[in-house]
Chains A and B, each alone.
Chain A
Amino acid sequence: MHVQDLFQAAYSGILYGSVYGLMAIGLTLIWGSLRMLNLAHGSLYLSGAYLAFALVNLKVVHLPLLVSFGLAVVGAGVVGFLIQFLMVDRILGKPGWDTASLIVTVGASIMLQSAALLIFGAQRKAMPVLLEGRFRIGAMLIDYHRLMIIGLGVVSLIALSLFLRRTRYGLAIQAVSQHMDAARLMGIPVRSTFWIVMFLSAALAGLAGVLLSSVFELSPTAGYNPMARALVVTIFGGLGSVKGTIWAAFIIGLLESFLQVYAGAGWALPGLFGFMIVMLIIRPNGLFGLGEMQRL
């Protein structure tokens, strides 16, 4: 057991944590406000990554890297908005919501993944890094790029928290999540609040896709692993709780990283799910879960 393994595990864990946080926050916001489990979230990660890839490799015009990434994030947000506007809006408030919303999001996920496969093919793509180079601390090599991912992830999470707690629209999202009828009586337009939630959540998932796909592979199935992680994080943190999700993201990120370093990569996913099951037995609502389940 080397100290450097420990630092390596911790460093990777924080990296995972900040990216999982981006994905899981979206899931938790969607659950909190819409009472919908967005199974299309992995494909929103994919949308961000592939949009970035397409923009980066554009022959017609050469866009700076940051611009491509930025546009990809917004593009993922638009995809999320479209899923809400075109598909979910049709079944809002209708009976059978619980099942219907699952089917719709799975359907959207299949469509997006198939589109990726058709347009880009099954082969893994390479994504460029934002910053080249690395530096040394002791025996450890630290990429600037990974450091930037952590930085961007943390900054985004902070920005989102501020948005939710300090702006009119952020408070409205919380209000809708806590009591939808009361929110209506305040004059809050629920349908368009959902659009904002979906756009934001999808953009965050897209950002996760843009950031992580330069570290791992990009292929049409690249959305599954982040989706599985995000799900574990969301449930562990407590469905609907933003604070819980952020804590959970880093705990799960570190847990996975330590499992990988000390037990081997194959143990990561089973270990995580096993941990989640144990946690749910001890605390069924997750770390900070919303106590009461209020139905739409």
Chain B
Amino acid sequence: MLLKVTDLKAGYGGSEVLHSISLFVNEGEAVVILGPNGHGKSTLLRAISGLIQPTGGSVEMDGRVISDLLPHDIVAAGVIHIPQGDLPFPDLTVMENLLMGAYRTEAWRERKQKLEQVFQLFPTLAERRNQLARSLSGGERRMLALGRGLMGKARILMIDEPSLGLAPFLIDDVYATIREINQKQGLAVLLADENADHIAGLANRVYLLEAGALVREGSAQELLKDEALLAAYLG
């Protein structure tokens, strides 16, 4: 088990949003958390990456507790969170954004190779490497966010809503890229998604999140086949 979340509780300003969440991700696995908007998917990822502090429970990485660490130490443990909305640094160039993804010392030493890999995966980023991030289109920003996440020494990539705000013809590409990262590079992936349309060839296991609690868990095959279930939870 690579990432293990046990009875995690978290919220904002005194109200609890996540109620005792327990889940795990194994090495090389692609796990998807499915749930409607506003039910806690982002909160869950933010609680794992340390942007918000959990109020109960624990998160372990490789058997080591990380839930009491500050975000930059959680990154050092190999947990890379690619947030909803991309959050680029608008007045830094594409290249500078990517370099910031490799800020930690171990990643910084390998930054040249990593840049090569990212540019191979996303040739558009290579073309636009000296452009300011604020001038990128939606699809390019998504690529930048993914590329930036790949610059660190990730043991697991947590991606929040990869298709959010993208034009339909770009969405297939994004999932294909995530699939390639997971299957060819063997990098574990934890995806938070609001619909199940594109995860069929990608996910190994799926959790259903409703109102801050995990209500179902199973292999992707069984859950994705159950159309009635999906319709009930995702509307």
List residues of chain A with CB under 8 Å of any chain B CB.
168, 171-172, 174-175, 178-179, 181-190
Contacts and interface: CB of A to CB of B under 8 A. Distances in A.
A168 B103 contact: yes
B92 A185 contact: no
Contacts, number: 66
B162 interface: no
B89 interface: yes
Given A181-B51, A185-B81, A188-B72, 7 more contacts: A168-B103, A178-B92, A179-B90, A184-B50, A185-B71, A186-B75, A187-B103
A175 B89 contact: yes
A182 B92 contact: no
Interface stretch (B93-101, B113-121, B176-184, B227-235): B93-101
A185 B96 contact: no
A187 B104 contact: yes
A161 to B, nearest CB: 14
A186 B152 contact: yes
A155 B32 CA distance: 53
Nearest to A181: B51
B65 interface: no
B84 to A, nearest CB: 11
Contacts of B70: 189
23 contacts: A171-B92, A172-B100, A178-B89, A178-B90, A178-B92, A179-B88, A179-B90, A181-B87, A182-B83, A182-B87, A182-B88, A183-B100, A185-B51, A186-B100, A186-B103, A186-B152, A187-B72, A187-B75, A187-B76, A187-B152, A188-B72, A188-B100, A189-B70
Contact of B100 (A175, A181, A189, A190): A175
A120 B100 CA distance: 46
A183 B88 CA distance: 9
By Cβ-Cβ distance, the 8 closest A-B pairs, closest first, are A187-B75, A182-B87, A184-B71, A187-B104, A189-B72, A178-B89, A187-B72, A186-B100
Majority-rule SS of A interface residues: helix
Contact of B75 (A172, A175, A178, A185): A185
B91 A186 contact: no
Interface of B: 49-51, 70-72, 75-76, 80-83, 87-92, 96, 99-101, 103-104, 107-108, 148, 152
B89 A185 contact: no
Contacts of A178: 89-92
A187 B102 CA distance: 8
Contacts of B92: 171, 174-175, 178
Nearest to A193: B72
Contacts of A190: 72
**Residue of B92, B101, B148 with most partner-chain A CB within 10 A:** B92
Nearest to A176: B89
Nearest to B101: A186
Contacts of B103: 168, 172, 186-188
Contacts of A171: 92, 96, 99-100
Contacts of A182: 83, 87-89
Contacts of B100: 171-172, 175, 183, 186, 188
**Residue of B70, B71, B92 with most partner-chain A CB within 10 A:** B71
Contacts of B108: 168
B76 A174 contact: no
A195 to B, nearest CB: 14
Contacts of B50: 184
A186 B91 CA distance: 16
B64 to A, nearest CB: 17
Contacts of B83: 181-182, 185
Contacts of B76: 187
